[in-house]
Amino acid sequence: MDVPTSRTVRIGWVVFLCVVVLILLRLVSAVFVPLALALFTIALAWPLQCRLEKWRFPRPLAYVFTLLSVLVVVGIFAGLIYACARNVAEKAPDYRERFSELHQEAKRWMAVQRRKAALDLDDEPEAAPASDEPDPSQASGGGGALDTSPGAAGAPPAGAPGESTASSSSGNGGGNNNSDPSGLMDFAGKVLAFAYGLVGQLALLITFTILGLIEIHRFTEKLERRLPSPAGITVRDICSEIASKLQRYMMLRTLISATTGVLVWLFTWLIGLEFPLVWGVLSFLLNYIPTLGSIVAVIPPTLFAGITGDASLFLTTLAGLTVIQFTIGNLLDPRLEGRVLRLSPLLLFLSMVFWGWMWGIPGALLGIPILSAIFIVCRRFDATRPIADVLEK
């Protein structure tokens, strides 16, 4: 009885600690998200640094070259985003009037719906059954209807606001509220807060990456000195395998995303949809998030085609992009990832959804690498090998 009881207690403690760790990761995501992204970047860049050192590069020179390579890749992504933003900014005045008309139509439709809802609420007491209290007109001795002419007693004064006046004034007031500059100030404040948070996280990411690339050799040397020989070698081999597996995964992910982006750019250019480069780059970036990214990438160009074009352009865009994204993102992509990572496609999807819920877009990007690292670690030890068997494809 003691052995099963102690094993149950250990399992309970492990589950409790996992829950506590997940809660901390969620609450302190502002620090852990840049740290996780930095570890992911270091895992991708570390094999390059090791390869350069094997080619007789001095360690400082290998470190500088690796760091410059990371910055070049980041610069390429930033350049693509800047080119798309500049393209949209140059042609935005051509579509400003159209979007303004759609905005006004949407506002008018919402105002009509609000007035209809108000009239329905005002009509509800009239449709209610009569109460047992006597009619005021009958109590005064008049058998006829209550006189509501302007001169009659009890009628509302001529200057009192009626129902139509109230509704029209509320509609005008809504327009005045929309023209209030405080709304623009609130929007500008939100944009500045988002930009401030993004810059802060990027600064943490760059700092963690630079320090991590400097310390990684010292860290491996400390492990080999502090741990016994088999344990130190095992930890080093686990880190090397994780880095190699993540590197192959990102190469595959980049190839799939680039192929999808080129096909989307070519298709939107052929059908005459405006901003083909923007849709291609957007598809390229979103496809780094497997499955969900390919679904989301269909929505913006399709909506733009429906707003700026006719029904045939809308249907053509929807059908073409759906075929491209479904074929690559939902048929080809999971099979290739399953072969590279040797993990269950269902568990890959669940991991992406879970970490996306934890950390947003960065979590969705890191969900599959995190599951791959867990699989590699669990496969190395006898006690956790059953977990690796469950995760394996």
Q: Is 151 contained in some domain?
A: no
Give me the pLDDT at residue 306, please: 85
Asked if pLDDT for residue 333 goes beyond 70, the answer is: yes
Residue 286 contacts by C-beta under 8 Å, 6 or more apart in sequence? Answer: 293, 294, 296, 297
284 & 209 share domain: no
Q: Among 293, 258, 361, which Cα is nearest to 36's?
A: 361
Asked if pLDDT for residue 153 goes beyond 70, the answer is: no
pLDDT digits (tens, 9 = 90+) for 227-283: 766 766 777 788 888 888 888 888 888 888 999 999 999 999 999 888 899 999 999
Q: Give how far the C-alpha of residue 208 lies from the chain's centroid of Cα atoms, to the nearest Å.
A: 23
Q: Is 177 contained in some domain?
A: no
User: How many whole angstroms separate alpha carbon 145 and alpha carbon 300?
Assistant: 60
218 & 271 share domain: no
Q: Among 263, 261, 250, 258, which Cα is nearest to 336's?
A: 250
Domain holding 252, by residue range, is 243-393
85 & 222 share domain: yes
287 & 383 share domain: yes
Query: pLDDT-based confidence at 5, cuts 50/70/90?
Result: low
Q: Is 137 contained in some domain?
A: no
Q: Is 280 contained in some domain?
A: yes
Comparison of pLDDT for 64 and 291, the residue scoring more: 64
E-assigned strand segments in 241-350: none
Give me the pLDDT at residue 165, please: 43
Q: Is 311 contained in some domain?
A: yes
Decide if 334 contacts 346 (C-beta within 8 A): no
User: How many whole angstroms separate alpha carbon 6 and alpha carbon 53?
Assistant: 48
209 & 250 share domain: no
Q: Is 296 contained in some domain?
A: yes
Q: Is 238 contained in some domain?
A: no
Decide if 67 contacts 210 (C-beta within 8 A): yes
Give me the pLDDT at residue 261, please: 92
Give me the pLDDT at residue 147, please: 46
Query: pLDDT-based confidence at 393, cuts 50/70/90?
Result: confident
pLDDT digits (tens, 9 = 90+) for 214-225: 888 777 777 777
Helix residue ranges per DSSP H, 28-58: 29-54
pLDDT digits (tens, 9 = 90+) for 309-326: 788 989 999 999 999 988
361 & 218 share domain: no
Decide if 367 contacts 352 (C-beta within 8 A): yes
User: How many whole angstroms separate alpha carbon 303 and alpha carbon 76?
Assistant: 28
Give me the pLDDT at residue 221, please: 75
Q: Among 311, 339, 187, which Cα is nearest to 195's?
A: 187
The percent of residues above 70 in pLDDT, for the chain, comes to: 78
Q: How many domains is the chain built from? A: 2
pLDDT digits (tens, 9 = 90+) for 344-382: 878 888 898 899 899 888 888 898 889 988 998 888 888
Q: Give how far the C-alpha of residue 139 lies from the chain's centroid of Cα atoms, to the nearest Å.
A: 67
Give me the pLDDT at residue 266, please: 95
AA identity, residue 20? V
User: How many whole angstroms separate alpha carbon 35 and alpha carbon 110?
Assistant: 45
351 & 220 share domain: no
Q: Is 19 contained in some domain?
A: no
